[in-house]
Chains A and B, each alone.
Chain A
């Protein structure tokens, strides 16, 4: 018989609730306890999505399983600042591995701190044997501070004494107490006005298939604008690299929507915004490139022999310094009147976008029409690629795939549930291959140019050149492997079954060859 939990309203006195639950048996208070808990997660709720949370409690850090309300891993808290990244944690501790897997490159953010008072009682029978345990914990949110207190009553049955626990459950129900359905953390978040899993980097809007194309454009645009705004402060505060990443992806998605919805909105009215958003996107590019390099620092080091590794350090240090300058530049951009004006103007635009010729057609019709074309284009370009095709052809295909992917994500909700997800999973395999191929091309080009003008002098210069050479060799080998894997990745996407699936999705006209 598992523990049961109820929410207790603030006007009910703890002692009398406990007395009501004890019924005719003897109630005995135990010493109460005061403590403080703090909860943490990443901005995009990676722990919560995995059914976990990180809690600081009693001088230790605890990874909690939210369903079972149980500690899965625990490290003692160390003096000094709180850990921000998984790699700040004790390498030999219990938390490092499981948290690293969940958080990856994201930083921990404080969610809520609560001061707690835990009152406890035991219920004894005529033999003075304990037959039931009760606990009532009051949580007072301190950060963010709110006036409401959360009070949670726990009824702990003891093995072999199920009846008193059942009677206590019934008594709690008679008192009008509501069973607690979610986790304690969720109750606490709701108390302080936070929405659990309130942010996701995945694109998801819900639209009826009959919605007009121009309405759909506005719905998508508002969602993306919201994502842009949500990431601004984390980007400025430089909490982790993914704020910028999500910020950029939202801009890119928006620009892709301009293309997919062409004819739906008045092109002349749209043009200036398209241009300004493109410009904003371009300004974020250099910082993202540097982030990608610096995130890969350990991987790069691992690709070359140990004796060459230190040769890379001067380069990474230069890149880190450059990143600082780029970040400052981007902060200025985000603080500029021009940026604020763009955000305001674009928001107004989306409130009532001026219609183009295709404004009134349904989003379902538009989606089918454009998906058909996009899909045909990817198949055609992909089939034209042979073993000897230039790298440039693969890069163009990567762009085509990305457009198709965004279109599928924009319109997923107008098709039957799950249909689009299945197609996306096939497309994703191909995109992963093309993405890695492109990354390697870019990295090799960068290394080549670094090698053409090595920095430093004397021994340092030689060491850096040797390290860069070693890295180029490693990347070169992987680049060829990825190129060879392309045929299989494309074949999976171009499979007749997948193509038929696309055709059904897009209506009667067949796609492809």
Chain B
């Protein structure tokens, strides 16, 4: 089982959209996938029309493996299940802090899922705290959406240093361009230059600004489902192939 985390300290950069679409694409290839919606906003759960059980609070999930089992729900798609966000996930930070071995907690919580899933995709809330540290520990690959603006370069570099300080291998960190608008001069230049300058490896497939991806919130379906031939969906597919290789999963 591999663990893929979609992470950025910034909001609105396309983490959730990527998590939902990548998880759906993997499942379509027969990869048994669990999407873990850690963001209390529950955007990923919303896309899959799933609500959490009332009793699946964050404290209980961290304490009790059986609770985790019972919190998981089937999506409408074969091979794809979700652990939906619960409003109590707002307290995730405090709840983690309250248990022993906080940093490895998430990794241990996911371990029993090995039997049922080949891939876990984590949709993260935008924080750089204990929650992020726990996610970094659990993940085989931390995938960071980068919107091509000048500011994002600094943010990415901060994250790289954070990774280094925590003693985590740099190979586990990877960026991809998100919300790319090729009509903008700045975007085109950044796409050229940033991967060369940056000490973080970049995926070659950027995700363009796409009205289809934007519309996911209306139809509440992954773009790879309702518009599989759209530019947005095809970009997701190419990104998935790169991610799959980076995770060392079979073609």
Contacts and interface: CB of A to CB of B under 8 A. Distances in A.
A128 B49 CA distance: 7
A161 B74 contact: yes
B116 to A, nearest CB: 10
Interface in B106-126: none
Contacts of A128: 49, 220
Contacts of A122: 76
Contacts of A68: none
A146 to B, nearest CB: 35
A122 B78 CA distance: 13
Contacts of A161: 73-74
Given A160-B73, A160-B74, A129 B49 contact: yes
The interface residues of chain A, by DSSP majority, are classed as loop
Contact of A158 (B49, B51, B70, B74): B74
A130 B77 CA distance: 9
A122 B76 CA distance: 10
Nearest to B48: A129
Nearest to B82: A160
B72 interface: yes
A130 B76 contact: yes
Nearest 8 CB-CB pairings of A with B: A160-B73, A129-B49, A158-B74, A159-B74, A130-B76, A127-B49, A159-B81, A128-B49
Given A128-B49, A161-B73, 12 more contacts: A127-B50, A129-B49, A129-B76, A158-B73, A158-B74, A159-B72, A159-B73, A159-B74, A159-B81, A160-B72, A160-B73, A161-B74
Nearest to A125: B49
B45 to A, nearest CB: 10
A160 B49 CA distance: 13
Interface in A107-149: 122, 127-130
Nearest to B46: A127
Nearest to A127: B49
Contacts of B76: 122, 129-130
B126 to A, nearest CB: 26
A5 B53 CA distance: 28
Contacts of B71: 160
Contacts of B70: 160
A127 B84 CA distance: 14
Interface of B: 48-51, 53, 70-74, 76, 81, 220
Nearest to A159: B74
A128 B48 CA distance: 10
A129 B73 CA distance: 11
Contacts of A127: 49-51
B55 to A, nearest CB: 12
Contacts of B49: 127-129
Contacts of A158: 73-74
Interface in A443-479: none
A161 to B, nearest CB: 7
Contacts of B50: 127, 129, 160
A367 to B, nearest CB: 54
Nearest to B73: A160
A297 to B, nearest CB: 41
A368 to B, nearest CB: 57
A135 to B, nearest CB: 14
Interface centre among A128, A129, A160, A161 (most CB of B within 10 A): A160
A367 B49 CA distance: 73
28 contacts: A122-B76, A127-B49, A127-B50, A127-B51, A128-B49, A128-B220, A129-B48, A129-B49, A129-B50, A129-B76, A130-B74, A130-B76, A158-B73, A158-B74, A159-B72, A159-B73, A159-B74, A159-B81, A160-B50, A160-B53, A160-B70, A160-B71, A160-B72, A160-B73, A160-B74, A160-B81, A161-B73, A161-B74
Interface centre among B53, B70, B72, B73 (most CB of A within 10 A): B73
A317 B61 CA distance: 73
Interface centre among A122, A128, A129, A161 (most CB of B within 10 A): A129
A128 B51 CA distance: 12
B80 to A, nearest CB: 11
Interface centre among B48, B49, B70, B72 (most CB of A within 10 A): B49
A193 B49 CA distance: 48
Nearest to A129: B49
Contacts of B53: 160
A122 B49 CA distance: 15
A129 B46 CA distance: 10
A130 B50 CA distance: 9
A129 B70 CA distance: 18
Interface centre among B70, B71, B76 (most CB of A within 10 A): B76
A350 B81 CA distance: 66
A159 B81 CA distance: 8
A64 B133 CA distance: 47
Contacts of A129: 48-50, 76
Nearest to B71: A160
A21 B71 CA distance: 25
A127 B53 CA distance: 14
A128 B50 CA distance: 9
A121 to B, nearest CB: 14
Contacts of B48: 129
A160 B76 CA distance: 12
Contacts of A160: 50, 53, 70-74, 81
A161 B51 CA distance: 11
A128 B46 CA distance: 11
Nearest to B76: A130
